[in-house]
Amino acid sequence: MNLKKVSDKEKLDICRKYYLGGFAFLPFLWLVNFVWFYKHAFKRSEFPEQAQMKKYLVHSGIGCLIWMVILVIWNIVFQVNRVSWDAVGDHLTFILPR
């Protein structure tokens, strides 16, 4: 989609939909939302929808960072403790060791 052809009101609507979609355990949507609309919200001259768009983007960025931290912590905990978890650790892996 070319954002240059979309009105500011439609951009805000898309930004809001991506923000709300991130709450469905889709933190990637928050990342896309933040990257896609960053220039429009923070680097452009003032427009009426800008304040609300900034709010959605800041919350999307924070939510994405929180999810990233949670996933990294889970990955570290799992890698360190998988062997000591015995059968539970084996069932949580995609490739079962022999």
pLDDT digit string (tens) for 30-72? 999 999 999 989 998 889 989 999 999 999 999 999 999 999 9
With cut-offs at 50, 70 and 90, classify the pLDDT of residue 81.
Answer: very high
Is 14 within the bounds of a domain?
A: no
C-alpha 20/C-alpha 75 separation (Å) is 26
Q: pLDDT tens digits, residue range 11-36? A: 999 999 999 999 998 999 999 999 99
Is 45 within the bounds of a domain?
A: yes
Q: Which domain holds residue 90?
A: 27-97
Number of independent structural domains in the chain? 1
Is 16 within the bounds of a domain?
A: no
For residue 94, is pLDDT > 90? no
With cut-offs at 50, 70 and 90, classify the pLDDT of residue 96.
Answer: low
**For residue 85, how many C-alpha atoms fall within 13 Å in the half-sphere facing its CB?**
12
